[in-house]
């Protein structure tokens, strides 16, 4: 249950640290598994909890975030929980208004159009004042998990957030946001720097609140080619890892493993392997062996089952999981999908995926 807030100190002892051990490259008895968007609309209980509430109002309620984070763990033996929140809380902290439009998704009422619009953004963000509700949700959830599994915190990466702030919502081409990179490179860097600074404080705050791992989502990496990625995404991705780690040290906070998930950025896997993250997340468009060859043996891989594989019959899901585990190897690996779960997926198929990872990885490890 997600009742009263307790102090961040005195968290329950962790009973299953398989996910954290795999992230750090230690040996595990089974391959750990969790799913992006595991707290989500594919669960009837999620839809019920969320029914009466505006989406971002839900994000601002620590109690509801806690409940939604725990729901998938009541159903499935997942090896990690990820806090229920949204990447767009960061642009909100900068003073932008975002509303969730049914059938359309997140929409910015006033996207950034001109370079002058950058002046409307808060230049200094007090993350505790603006995003304290996420920290409260993390602390509450960490207690409510009772040490069952570790809790992952997350943020969107600067380019992905910038693209939303300029496009005003989803886009198939990101042409408006990309035009900034070509037309206004200096202003683009100013915006990316501002975002990176907020993200660094936000991630450190999540660890202070109780997050035991962090994932950075560069969901729109696929819209950039190698050169734009090199100029406008990678430097900030690197800086975030470095700065978060040095601040955690300064504040005597735990050095938690960090995951970078840059969707569709196979052209950058070598760079991402050296960007300062313990784990590199993969989408489904790359062969496991190729990813392992490019990333090397010193970084853990996470992913990369095609989410649509979960539409297959359960036996077929088992075969696909087995193949994935044989390709990646069961060690230095965290099983996941190559993107989030879709709203129309059958929860039983999610369960089949999770169980197949545990069963096949244990079998492979024994033999």
For 255-316, the DSSP string reads ---EEEEETT-GGGHHHHHTSS-SEEE--TTS-HHHHHHHH-SSSEEEEEE-GGGGGS-HHH
Cβ neighbours for 192, distance < 8 A, ≥ 6 positions apart: 158, 159, 162, 232, 236
User: What is residue 102's predicted lDDT score, i.e. its pLDDT?
Assistant: 86
Residue 164 annotated among the catalytic residues of the structure: yes
Confidence bin at 103 (pLDDT 50/70/90): confident
* Calculated CA dihedral for residues 87, 288, 69, 253, nearest 10 degrees: -70
| Two structure tokens written together for 204 | 């450190």
pLDDT exceeds 90 at position 284: yes
Between 5-14, 129-138, 275-284, the lowest mean confidence (pLDDT) is in: 5-14
* Residue 348: its H or E element: helix 347-366
User: What is residue 52's predicted lDDT score, i.e. its pLDDT?
Assistant: 81
Catalytic residue among 17, 21, 42, 50: 50
Strands 105-108 and 98-101: antiparallel
Residue 193 annotated among the catalytic residues of the structure: no
User: What is residue 5's predicted lDDT score, i.e. its pLDDT?
Assistant: 58
Mean pLDDT of 64-89: 98
Catalytic residue among 24, 75, 86, 190: 86
pLDDT exceeds 70 at position 189: yes
Catalytic residue among 37, 142, 238, 292: 37
Catalytic residue among 164, 202, 236, 277: 164
Confidence bin at 4 (pLDDT 50/70/90): low
User: What is residue 277's predicted lDDT score, i.e. its pLDDT?
Assistant: 98
Mean pLDDT of 206-230: 98
Residue 50 annotated among the catalytic residues of the structure: yes
Catalytic residue among 24, 41, 190, 193: 41
- 166 vs 175: CA distance, rounded Å: 10
Task: Kindly tell me the burial class for residue 58, based on how many C-beta atoms sit within 10 Å of its own C-beta (0-12, 13-18, 19 or more).
Answer: buried
Confidence bin at 51 (pLDDT 50/70/90): confident
Sequence spans of domains, the chain: 34-281
Q: How many CB atoms lie within 10 A of CB 234?
A: 22
Contact 243, 277 (CB under 8 A): no
User: What is residue 2's predicted lDDT score, i.e. its pLDDT?
Assistant: 74
**pTM of the predicted model as reported, rounded to 2 decimal places:** 0.97
CATH fold label, 34-281: TIM Barrel (3.20.20)
Residue 86 annotated among the catalytic residues of the structure: yes
Residue 42 annotated among the catalytic residues of the structure: no
pLDDT exceeds 90 at position 204: yes
pLDDT tens-digit map of 308-327? 999 999 999 999 999 999 99
Contact 153, 83 (CB under 8 A): yes
Under the phi-then-psi rule, with left for phi > 0, alpha for psi from -120 to 50, and beta for the rest, what region is 308?
A: alpha
DSSP string, 131-200: HHHHHHHHHHHHHHTTTSS-EEEEEE-HHHHHHHHHHSS--SS-HHHHHHHHH-HHHHHHHHHHHHHHHH
DSSP string, 191-249: HHHHHHHHHHHHHHHHHHHT-SEEEEEETTGGGS-HHHIIIIIHHHHHHHHHHHHHHHH
What are the backbone dihedrals phi and psi of residue 7, each rounded to the nearest 5 degrees, phi first? -70, 155
* Residue 105: its H or E element: strand 105-108
Contact 314, 303 (CB under 8 A): no
Q: How many CB atoms lie within 10 A of CB 20?
A: 22
- 193 vs 158: CA distance, rounded Å: 8
Mean pLDDT of 259-278: 98
User: What is residue 8's predicted lDDT score, i.e. its pLDDT?
Assistant: 56
User: What is residue 7's predicted lDDT score, i.e. its pLDDT?
Assistant: 55
pLDDT exceeds 80 at position 150: yes
């Amino acid at each position: 249950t997600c009742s009263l807030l307790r102090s961040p100190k005195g968290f329950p002892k962790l009973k299953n640290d398989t996910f954290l051990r795999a992230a750090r490259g230690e040996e595990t008895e089974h391959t750990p598994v969790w799913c992006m968007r595991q707290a989500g609309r594919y669960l009837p209980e999620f839809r019920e909890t969320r029914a009466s509430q505006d989406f971002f109002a839900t994000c601002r309620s620590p109690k509801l975030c806690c409940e939604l984070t725990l729901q998938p763990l009541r159903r499935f033996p997942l090896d990690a929980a990820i806090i229920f929140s949204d990447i767009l809380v960061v642009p909100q902290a900068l003073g932008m208004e975002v509303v969730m439009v049914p059938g359309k998704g997140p929409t910015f009422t006033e996207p950034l159009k001109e370079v002058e619009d950058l002046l409307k953004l808060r230049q200094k963000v007090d993350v505790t004042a603006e995003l304290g509700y996420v920290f409260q949700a993390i602390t509450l959830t960490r207690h409510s998990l009772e040490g069952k599994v570790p809790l992952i915190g997350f943020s969107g990466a600067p380019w992905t957030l910038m693209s939303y702030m300029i496009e005003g919502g989803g886009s198939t081409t990101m042409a408006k946001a990309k035009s900034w990179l070509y037309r206004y490179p200096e202003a683009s860097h100013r915006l990316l720097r501002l975002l990176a600074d907020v993200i660094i404080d936000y991630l450190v705050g999540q660890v202070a609140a109780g997050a035991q791992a962090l994932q950075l989502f560069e969901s729109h990496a696929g819209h950039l080619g190698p050169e734009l990625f090199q100029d406008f995404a990678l430097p900030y991705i690197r800086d975030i890892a470095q700065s978060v780690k040095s601040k955690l040290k300064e504040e005597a906070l735990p050095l938690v493993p960090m995951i970078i998930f840059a969707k569709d950025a196979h052209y950058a896997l070598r760079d991402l392997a050296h960007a300062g993250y313990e784990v590199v997340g993969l989408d489904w468009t790359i062969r496991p062996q190729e990813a392992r060859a490019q990333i090397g043996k010193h970084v853990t891989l996470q992913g990369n089952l095609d989410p649509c594989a979960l539409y297959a019959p359960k036996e077929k899901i088992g075969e696909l999981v087995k193949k994935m585990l044989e390709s990646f190897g069961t060690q230095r690996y965290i099983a996941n999908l190559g993107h989030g779960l879709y709203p129309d997926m059958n929860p039983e198929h999610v369960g089949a995926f999770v169980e197949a990872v545990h069963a096949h990885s244990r079998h492979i490890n024994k033999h």
